Amino acid sequence: MILVTGGAGFIGSNFILDWLSHADTSVIALDKLTYAGNLGNLAALTSDPRFTFVQGDIGDTGLVSQLLSTHQIHAVVHFAAESHVDRSIHGAEDFIQTNILGTFRLLEACRAYWAGLPKAEAAAFRFLHVSTDEVFGSLSAEAAPFTETHLYEPNSPYSASKAASDHLVRAWHHTYGLPVVTTNCSNNYGPYQFPEKLIPLVILKALAGDPLPIYGDGQQIRDWLFVTDHCAAIREVLARGTLGETYNIGGWNEQANLSVVHAICELLDRLSPRANGASYAHQITHVADRPGHDRRYAIDARKIERELGWRPSETFETGLEKTVQWYLQNADWVQNVQSGTYRDWVRQNYTERS
């Protein structure tokens, strides 16, 4: 049995669905169910005897220890994190509590459990820490993509908190021998993503007839990774990754934010055209940039391809069309996540920048 933290979030829930479609190993999902955690993401597993959901905090050492020992967990896949840069700018403390202190307490619970396992089981145990390319800072237009040995230069409260968690995981391996592997991924997109992030935000605001907010000139570049490709990479790292190593996971798809928004508009023009025949691109508007906005991220994913044979299956074009189709076909899910709290956040973070 494996324990997946943040299992009701965007990437965590996609990972669980992907895992159970490929393996018979049972899964426990642990999630605090904050604003971005959504049990609706896992509705397809309601009657699956291999799946168990537990609402709780990774910082609750007693709960985590009980889950590890009671269910004889052989691997922990750690997704749980506060992950939105804009929210970290407005309020950093939640990011410090969850990403740093929460990861510390989780590591300690896992270390105590692992230390008490029989020798063979201890050797098979794994702690996989899921992190981000944002810990490496910002790249110039001509710079080579991030490798696993790139200098850490986090520029936001979010990326600083994730960098700290990466260092904790590394230290727990080198000091205590805890069998860990770390992954640093690029920008994920796909089904079940909470619509504070660029791609679902633009899809839903376009369909609602609202302005499509673009920070600054919209030329910030990101490497886009379809979420199921990310899940496949994590499965490979968990199965065959070298202990103590880091693996960059990227989509080889660098795109400027403005180009992404235009691509979404073109897909919606074809898949769900406006009644008046006008393009959704007419709704694009530029708003004030956020503080300290990193200009470019790019992942060099050659190590994971060379050592583990993984490479993304989706192009940006195929992944984006699947994503737009999913949001068009899942109106009930969309309606359930667009609460008054979410609308207040969008108004604070985008409308007031106009």
For the stretch 155-203, pLDDT in tens is: 999 999 999 999 999 999 999 999 999 999 999 999 999 988 999 999 9
- Report pLDDT for 189: 98
* Catalytic entry in 134, 196, 229, 294: 134
* Interval 108-132: pLDDT, tens: 999 999 999 999 999 999 999 999 9
- Percentage of the chain lying above the pLDDT 70 cut: 96
Residue 245, C-beta contacts closer than 8 angstroms, at least 6 positions apart: 148, 181, 182
Sole residue written with tokens 């530029």: 286
By the 10 Å C-beta count (0-12 exposed, 13-18 middle, 19+ buried), 24 is classed as exposed
Residue 55, C-beta contacts closer than 8 angstroms, at least 6 positions apart: 31, 32, 33
* Catalytic entry in 158, 192, 327, 350: 158
- Note if 153 is an active site residue: no
What's the per-residue H, E or C state across the chain? CEEEECCCCHHHHHHHHHHHHHCCCCEEEEECCCCCCCHHHHHHHCCCCCEEEEECCCCCHHHHHHHHHHCCCCEEEECCCCCCHHHHHHCCHHHHHHHHHHHHHHHHHHHHHHHCCCHHHHHHCEEEEEEEHHHHCCCCCCCCCECCCCCCCCCCHHHHHHHHHHHHHHHHHHHHCCCEEEEEECEEECCCCCCCCHHHHHHHHHHHCCCEEEECCCCCEEEEEEHHHHHHHHHHHHHHCCCCCEEEECCCCEEEHHHHHHHHHHHHHHHCCCCCCCCHHHHEEEECCCCCCCCECCECCHHHHHHHCCCCCCCHHHHHHHHHHHHHHCHHHHHHHCCHHHHHHHHHHCHHHC
Q: Which of 145, 296, 146, 275 is closest to 220 using CA atoms?
A: 296
Contact 325, 166 (CB under 8 A): no
- Report pLDDT for 289: 85
Reading the block at residue 220, the tokens are 């910030």
- Report pLDDT for 132: 97
* Catalytic entry in 86, 133, 229, 254: 133
- Whole-number Å distance between alpha carbons of 318 and 328: 16
Alpha-carbon separation of residue 43 from 23, 38, 240, 304, 332 (angstroms): 19, 9, 30, 32, 12
By the 10 Å C-beta count (0-12 exposed, 13-18 middle, 19+ buried), 65 is classed as middle
- Whole-number Å distance between alpha carbons of 227 and 319: 9
- Note if 133 is an active site residue: yes
Residue 254, C-beta contacts closer than 8 angstroms, at least 6 positions apart: 221, 222, 223, 224, 296, 298
b/e code 146-156 from CB counts within 10 Å (16+ = b): bebebeeebbb
- Note if 307 is an active site residue: no
Residues of the chain with pLDDT under 50: none
Which amino acid belongs to residue 123? A
- Whole-number Å distance between alpha carbons of 84 and 112: 31
List 128's β-bridge partners, or say none: 77, 181
Reading the block at residue 72, the tokens are 């004889």
Q: What is the value of pTM for the model shown?
A: 0.94
Domains and CATH numbers, the chain: 2-189+226-251+293-313 (3.40.50.720)
Contact 143, 233 (CB under 8 A): no
